[in-house]
Amino acid sequence: MHAAIQAEALVKRYGDVTALDGLTVDVPPGTVFGLLGPNGAGKSTAVKVLTTLTRPDSGTATVAGHDALAEPALVRRSIGVVTQRAGTDPQATGRENLVLAGRLQGLSGTEARSRADALLARFGLSDAAGRVVRTYSGGMARKLDVAMGLVHHPPVLFLDEPTTGLDPAARAGMWTEIATLARDEGTTVLLTTHYLEEADQLAERVAIVDRGRVVATGTPDALKSDLRGDTVVVGLGPDDDPARATSVLRDAGAGEVTTEGRALRARVDDGAQAVPALLAALERNGVGVSAITVARPSLDDVYLRLTGRTLVGAVEAEVAA
């Protein structure tokens, strides 16, 4: 079976900034595929190219069996797009937004109205259907955005950061909805996110994006199992010297020791066995420990291993900048 989305060596520059630097992805039909990376990694630019909003400087892209560069009109009929920005008319009601989207996708008036009502019911927006979108809460507006992308039963759906800015309850609801789409309706979903748990929860396959290219791709489990062993995070006391603590951990047999503020992160073969020895070594050398945790590898560890930065750190650096 052909891939639902296939991008090959996409390059896109904006002036001196290289947003995509040879990005390649291959998304099998009927799956949820996650593009994971911090803001500025090139995920949104990749979505813009694949949804025919912009053209790459080089590379090829096929979406739902159509060449995105040569046949953009055919691609536009086959995709639903939900971007980070709303995309709904604030002066129109929820129902009017959906009906208009349906008409522009070629549905008849009757089809568009019944589809709009079905989607409003499915997303729990029936009561708000006649209210203008300006009055919607953030979570309601986000649901309407996703509903807008589904009006014409697209075989391929793009969700660019679908849960950014949502509270935990709304996020969980959105996750359930996305999972249902792929499972029950066979929709191929390409999801971009900088939330690790989101990719871990939803995506059957994940591509980790860094500086405009895919640095690793596979199932979340396969990516994590490439990292052998466990992660130990040691919280230091206020008077401790991180450099000294680092060398103590190294001498005690821990690998890949990195520092993040007052915490050290290290890799060991078996966490449960290693922790007593590490604690003893730290105490012997006069390093006070405020906390110690052991974790199975996360996608964050995968990201750190591949890019030399933690995803959380990269996102925070982005915010600080």
Nearer to other proteins, 53 or 292 (CB): 53
CB of 53 to other proteins, least distance (A): 5
- Pairing assessment for the beta strands 263-268 and 230-236 based on DSSP bridges: antiparallel
Confirm or reject binding of residue 265 to other proteins (CB under 8 A): no
Considering the complex, state which of residue 96 and residue 111 has its C-beta at the smaller distance from other proteins.
Answer: 96
Q: Which of 3, 7, 56, 83 binds other proteins (CB under 8 A)?
A: 83
| Site residues (CB under 8 A) for other proteins, limited to 101-130 | 101, 103-106
Query: Which of 20, 81, 159, 207 lies at the binding interface for other proteins (CB under 8 A)?
Result: 81
What minimum distance in Å lies between the beta carbon of 280 and other proteins?
56
The smaller minimum CB distance to other proteins, of residues 76 and 115, is found at 76
Nearest alpha-carbon partner for 117 in 147, 79, 142? 147
Residue 138 engages other proteins in binding (rule: CB under 8 A):
no
- Give the per-residue contact string, 60-79, with other proteins (x = CB under 8 A; - = no): -------------x--xx-x
**Closer to other proteins at the Cβ: 109 or 288?**
109
- Residue 51, interface with other proteins (CB under 8 A)? yes
Closest CA to 175 of 156, 207, 197, 149: 197
CB of 282 to other proteins, least distance (A): 51
> Does 177 participate in binding other proteins (rule CB under 8 A)?
no
| Whole-angstrom distance, CA of residue 155 vs CA of residue 150 | 9
Number of H helices, E strands in the chain: 12, 14
- HSE-up of residue 146 (Cα within 13 Å, Cβ side): 28
Burial class of residue 87 in the structure, from the number of CB atoms within 10 Å of its CB (0-12 exposed, 13-18 middle, 19+ buried): middle
Our finding on whether 11 is near other proteins (CB under 8 A) is no
Q: Does 26 bind other proteins (CB under 8 A)?
A: no
Scanning the chain, the segments in alpha helix (DSSP H) are 43-50, 72-78, 94-104, 109-122, 138-150, 168-185, 196-202, 220-225, 242-251, 271-284, 299-307, 311-320
The closest of 238, 195, 202 to 219, measured between CA atoms, is 202
By CB under 8 A, tell whether 135 contacts other proteins. no
Footprint (CB under 8 A) of other proteins, residues 140-169: 148
Q: Which two tokens stand for residue 196?
A: 């690790």
**Site membership for other proteins, residue 31 (CB under 8 A):** no
Smallest distance from other proteins to CB 61, Å = 13
Q: For residues 236 and 289, what is the distance between their CA atoms, to the nearest angstrom?
A: 5
Identified binder of other proteins from the candidate list 96, 226, 256, 260, rule CB under 8 A: 96
Q: Least distance to other proteins from the beta carbon of 83, Å?
A: 6
299 contacts 200 by C-beta, under 8 angstroms: yes
Q: What is the DSSP string of 255-275?
A: EEEEEETTEEEEEES-HHHHH
Binding of residue 39 to other proteins (CB under 8 A): no
Tokens of 139: 């979570």
Nearest to other proteins of 158, 195 (CB atom): 158
The contact set with other proteins (CB under 8 A) reads: 48, 51-55, 73, 76-77, 79, 81, 83-92, 96, 100-101, 103-106, 132, 148
